[in-house]
Amino acid sequence: ILPKNVKIIEVGPRDGLQNEKRLVEEKEKLNFIHALQDAGIDEMELTSFVSPKWVPQMADAKNIVANSKRIGRQFVLAPNEKGAELAIEAKANSIAVFVGVSNSFNQKNINRTTEESMNALEPVIAKLKNEGIFIRGCISTAFYCPYEGKINKEDVIDLCRRFVTMGVDELSIADTIGMANPLESYELFKLLQVEFADEVLLTAHFHDTRKMALANIFAALQAGIDRFDTSAGGLGGCPFAPGATGNIATEDVVNMLDSMGIETGIDVEKVCEAVEMIAPYVSQPIETGMYRLYKNR
């Protein structure tokens, strides 16, 4: 049985823009964020407190948090203690920490082994909990790694267990390079659902490199998952995951769910308006099904 309602977590302003070479101005980012909020989105990754040397596009994180409307959960990413401190200073209400199951990927992304990252995050998560901040733990390379290949399900479960023990409120499980197929999606999410659904919120994060993300979402729905990270316009990609393309598009996921009678509270047409706003400022081509229909209407 499929869920009646699904929660969409918009990641466009963060995952969507982080890999964009040309710097998008603060004003354009804020217009994008506010247009997405107007479309009914109330959980969104806004930006990242990461090293501006590593990800120059996110250097304006402080201003983005300060100048965006406070609606629902607005996540900021933090890779380490410094990022968490900056996020607390900025009065972020929700924080996403992230780590790769694959050691090689974590090294490229955070310059630490997975173990080093987890050890460093333990006191950080304790502090954030103390501050009453909602914490999502993002698990990268949960299916495949661009450097190590196929990832063991047991390693994913082990890492998730550590995060849950540390007290995160949500796990977002990512197919970082868009390689998972629907059977793999069903199998992993079924395991995670059985193991963790009583303890934390479970979210699926699919990149659409091989155009299997909608099918993977349908498979995860069948496994009982009702939260999905999506990106308006299908923008996205991690600068440290070679070969990966954008996230599955918000407008295409919402349309698929709408057509199956599953409610999200999000207006597809208004998401397309938000995409139209950001389109002139990104170099990634926007080729999503619903945005193309919107342009040709």
Residues belonging to the active site: 238
Residue 56: both structure tokens together: 């120059």
Q: How far is the CB of 173 from ligand HMG (least distance, A)?
A: 9
Instruction: Please pick, from the candidates 10, 15, 20, 252, the single residue that binds Mg ion as defined by CB under 5 A.
Output: 15
3: nearest Cα among 249, 246, 189 = 189
Question: Do 33 and 44 touch, CB atoms closer than 8 A?
Answer: yes
Contacts (CB under 6 A) with ligand HMG, residues 18-47? 18
Q: For residue 190, give the 3-state DSSP assignment.
A: helix
Q: What angle do CA 252, 253, 256 make, to 5 degrees?
A: 85
Q: How far is the CB of 123 from Mg ion (least distance, A)?
A: 25
Q: How far is the CB of 293 from Mg ion (least distance, A)?
A: 25
Contacts (CB under 6 A) with ligand HMG, residues 235-254? 238, 240
Determine, following the binding rule CB under 6 A, whether residue 134 of this chain makes contact with ligand HMG: no
Which amino acid is present at 285? P
Q: How far is the CB of 271 from ligand HMG (least distance, A)?
A: 19
Determine, following the binding rule CB under 6 A, whether residue 51 of this chain makes contact with ligand HMG: yes
Residue 103: both structure tokens together: 């050691």
Instruction: Please pick, from the candidates 54, 147, 218, 281, the single residue that binds ligand HMG as defined by CB under 6 A.
Output: 54
d(C-alpha 43, C-alpha 9), whole Å: 5
Strand-pair category, 149-150 with 144-145: antiparallel
Q: What angle do CA 203, 59, 14 make, to 5 degrees?
A: 20
Contacts (CB under 6 A) with ligand HMG, residues 170-189? 174, 176
Residue numbers at the binding site for ligand HMG (CB under 6 A): 15, 18, 48-51, 54-55, 77, 79-80, 82-83, 86, 98, 109-111, 138, 140, 174, 176, 205, 207, 238, 240
Residue numbers at the binding site for Mg ion (CB under 5 A): 15
